[in-house]
Chain A
Amino acid sequence: MSTPTHERAASHPHHADQDRLVQPSQLSPARRALATVLHSRELAILLVLALVIAVATVRNPTFLFSGNSWRDLLLTPSMLVVLAVGQAVVIITRNVDLSVGSTLALTAYLTGRLFIDLPGIPIVAVVVAGLLVGGLLGLVNGVLVAVGKVPALVITLGTLYIYRGIVLTWAGSDRINASDLPRSFLSLGTRQVLSIPVLTLVALVVLLSVGYYLQTARGGREMYAIGSDPDAAVLYGLDVRRRVLTAFVLSGALAGLAGVMYAARYGTVSAGAGVGMELEAVAAVVIGGVAIFGGSGTVWGAAIGAVLLVTINRALPILGIPDFWQRAVVGALIIGAIVLDRVLADRRRRTLAEARDES
C-alpha cells in the first residue's frame, strides 16, 4: 500500500518543461544548451531591450542613427554595468551593497585630485588607485558584514552615508572640471576601438572575467551555494566569511573603477556624483534576473539589466513620455521583474513537485 496523496492522475500540459528540469541529461547537449538559452532570463530582457531600441528608433531615427547615438548607446551604460556586475556578486551571496554610489563619488573625486595634485601621474596609476581605494571601502563593508554578522542592508546603508560624508567634507563645494584633467584621460571617455567605446570595452572585460569566475571557479560556485542556503553552507564546511568578504571587496573595487570611468566620461565631478546609483545598480540586478535572496542569476543578466535601465531612461523622453511616467515605467519594470521571478519560481517548484508525485 502506498500513500494515497502520491497517486494523483497525471496529465499535465508541460511535460517537455518537466523533462527539461527533471531529466536534462536525456536531452542532447545541443538541445540542452538551446533549452537553457530559450528559458533564460537573459534572453527575455535582451528582447525587451531590442524592443525598446526598435520602438525609439522608429519614432525618432536619430535615437540610433546619428553622429554620437550609437556611441552613447554603448557608452552611457558602461559605469552602471560595472556597478551592477559587482552588485550581482554581492546579491548572489544573499547580501546587498548600498554604498557603491558613494564609493563611486569618492574615487571619481580622487581621480580628479590625483591629476591636479600630482601632475603627470600615469593614467594606469590612477586606475589602480581607484581600484585600491574602492576595494578598501568594500573591505570595510565586508568585515562588518562577514565578521560582525550585521545584516548587509544596515551596514552598507550606514557606509552609504559615511562614504558620502567623506566626499562632502573633502570636496566641499569644490568641483573637478574637465579643464583640470589631462586630455589623454578625457579622450578615454570618447575614444572608440573598432567603433566600440573604450569604456564599454572596460565594462565588457569586467563582465567577462567576473562571469567566467562565477561559472568556472570553486570560489564562484561557493558564492551561489552560500546565497542558496547559508546554513547548509556552514554544514558543508564552506568558508562563508572569506567568500562574503571577497564579494564585498570585489563590489567596492568595481565601484572604485566605475568612479574613474565616471571622471573620464563626464569630466566634471562634484560631491554629489553618483547619488542614487546604488539603487540603479540593485534595480539592474533585479531586472536582470538575479534572485534578491541570492543563489541564482548571472552577471550577464545584471549587465543587460543595466543597459536596459539606462536605455529606457534615454528612450522615454524621445517617445514624448512625461517625466513622472518615465520614473513610473522604471518602477513598473522592477516590480514586474520581481513578480515574474515569483511566478516562474512557483511554476518551477510545482513542475518539480509534480514530477515527484508522478514517479
Chain B
Amino acid sequence: MAEHPPPALELRDASKSFGPVVALRRGTLVARSGSIHALVGENGAGKSTIVKIIAGLYRRDSGDYLLDGQPVDFSSTSEAKARGVAVIYQEPTLFPDLSVTENIFMGRHLLGKGRRIDRAAMYAEVERLFSGLGVHIDPRRPALGLSIADQQIVEIAKAISLDARVLIMDEPTAALSGVEVERLFTVARALRDEGRALVFISHRFDEVFALCDTVTVMRDGDYVDTMAIDETDPGEIVALMVGREVGDLFPKTPADVGDPVLRVEGLTSAGTFHDIDFEVRAGEIVALAGLVGAGRSEIARAVFGIDRYDAGTVTIGGAPVTAGSPRAAIRAGMALVPEDRRQQGLVTDSSIARNIASVIRRGLARTGVLTSAAEAGAAGPWASRLEVKTHALDMPAATMSGGNQQKVVIAKWLATEPVLLVIDEPTRGIDVGTKAEVHRLLSELAGQGLAILMISSELPEVLGMADRVLVVSEGRITDEISRADATAERVMRAATQSTGAHA
C-alpha cells in the first residue's frame, strides 16, 4: 500500500491496573480518518477501559497514545476534547434542566458584546447542526424528556460543533429502536465521509457488519486481532472473542436433580423483558447468561419481588408468590445475593455477626431486644460452615476481602433456610483463588438440594457451573442449553443475537 498519513487515533500496548486488579493488559486500537472501526469483545474484555483512557478519564499505566501521529497524555476529559476526541456513551449525561442548546455549548457558550452570552447565535448554530444531521429537535427545549436516541444526537451535535476528529461510540445502539439505529447509522456514515475517525462498540454483529469497515477483537483485557470486515465473518469473530480454554476451573459436582422449585411463566415487564419462561429444580444450578444490559438482573429482581412486572407468574414449590413483595419472596423460601454486595447485600460498617443475623432478626429478638450475643450465636455456625476467614465475628464486614464478603452475604441468606438461591454475578471483583471457593460453596449447596439461579457474565463460570444455561438477549430468552451442549460459541451467538424486536 502507498504511504499512509498517520492514523487519527493510535493506542498501542496500553495497560491499566486498579490496585491488584488488571483492567487492561494490552490495549491496541488504530483508527483511521474516514473509517468506522468496530471494537468487540466480551463483557470485561477491556473495551470500556480503552474508551476511558482515550477519553482522558483514566490515565494509562504504560503504552503509547497518539493522535495524528503526535503522542498525547491526557489528565482530564477537557484536554481530550480540546484535541478533538469525543465519546458518545450508551446513556449520555446531559443537564436535564437546561436547554438542548445550552447542553451543546456548556463551558464554551458563544459570546457577543461585553462577554455576554449570544443566545441567538447559539440557537442558529444548533439549528444548523441539527439540520445537517437531518434531525428535528427544538434547540430551545429542555434536555429533560429526550429519548436516549435524541440525547445521543445531542452529544453527536456537540462533538461536531467541537469539530471532533475522533468519535467513540460506546454501545450507542443498546437502548435504541430499529428506526433510531438506522438514523444513527446514517449520521455515522455521514461523519465518516467528512473524514472523521469513528470507533463503534457493539455486541450486535449484524450492526458491526452493516456499519464498520475494520474490526478489532479483545479478550480478557488483551488485544487479539484487527481485521478488515470483508475478510472475516461473525463465526471467526466469536471464536476470537471467546478463544480460551474452559478447563475444570469451575467444577460443579453432579447432584441429584429433584422436583422443580421455582417456576416462572410468561414473565413480562414492558421495555425490560418479555415472555420469560423457565424453571429451576432442586439441586440444580441454572445460569442466566447474556450481555450486560440484556435484562438478566431485572428478571431476577422481578422474580424476587423487588421490581413489579406487568404479566406472568412466579411459583415456588407450586405455590404462587405475591408479586412486588420481597418479604413474600423471602417467606416463600427465596434468597437473593445481589450483584453489588457493598451497596445492596452487606452493611459494611456493621459486624459480620450482625450482617449474617440481619435477615433473621425477628426470630432472634427476645422480648423485642436483640443482643449481640444472640446474633453471634446465630451467626457462628453459618460462618464456620462457609469457612469465612475472619478473626472474629465482631469485626466490621468492610475489613474482609471480596471473597469473604461474598460468603458473608451468602451466609446471611442461608440463615433463612431458603429453597432457592438467586445469585447475581457471584464472583465479580473477587480474586481468582477465592473464586474457586465461592464456586465450590455453590456446588456444595446445590448438592444439598438447594435450587440455584445464577446470573453471570463470565462465560467460563457459566460453562463450568451451570447444569443448564438460559441465554438472555434484549430481554428475551434466546436459547436454552444443557450442560453437555454448552459451548462458549453457542452461548455468545445466542447472546449477541437480535431478538427481532426491531428487525
Residues on A lying within 8 angstroms of B by beta carbon are 1-6, 21-26, 32, 215-218, 221-222, 224-225, 227-229, 231-238, 291, 295-296, 348-349, 351-353, 355-356
Contact = CB atoms under 8 A, between A and B. Distances in A.
Nearest to B503: A1
Given A2-B502, A228-B97, 13 more contacts: A1-B178, A3-B271, A3-B501, A4-B270, A21-B145, A22-B138, A23-B141, A25-B123, A218-B107, A218-B108, A225-B95, A236-B106, A291-B97
A208 B152 CA distance: 37
B116 A216 contact: yes
B81 interface: yes
Given A216-B116, A217-B116, A235-B77, A225 B106 contact: yes
A232 B95 contact: yes
A227 B144 CA distance: 14
A253 to B, nearest CB: 21
A356 B141 contact: no
Contact of A22 (B102, B108, B141, B271): B141
A218 B77 contact: no
A291 B95 CA distance: 14
A231 B270 CA distance: 29
Nearest to A238: B107
A215 B95 CA distance: 16
B95 A237 contact: no
Interface of B: 76-79, 81, 93-98, 102, 106-109, 111, 115-117, 123, 138-142, 144-147, 177-179, 270-271, 500-503
Nearest to B87: A235
Contact of B111 (A218, A228, A229): A218
B96 A229 contact: yes
Contacts of B139: 25
Nearest to A226: B95
A1 B499 CA distance: 12
Contact of B177 (A2, A22, A215, A238): A2
A25 B95 contact: no
Contacts of A348: 144-145
A236 B141 contact: no
Contacts of A3: 177, 271, 501-502
B138 A23 contact: yes
B140 A25 contact: yes
B143 to A, nearest CB: 9
A24 B141 contact: yes
A3 B96 CA distance: 25
B95 A229 contact: yes
Given A216-B116, A296-B97, A352-B145, A237 B138 contact: no
17 contacts: A2-B179, A21-B141, A23-B138, A24-B138, A216-B116, A216-B117, A218-B107, A218-B115, A221-B98, A222-B106, A222-B107, A228-B97, A236-B78, A295-B95, A295-B97, A295-B98, A348-B145
Contacts of B95: 224-225, 228-229, 232-233, 295
Nearest to A20: B141
B76 A237 contact: yes
A352 B144 contact: yes
A356 B146 contact: yes
Contacts of A218: 107-109, 111, 115, 117
A37 to B, nearest CB: 15
Contact of B271 (A1, A2, A5, A355): A5
A12 B27 CA distance: 52
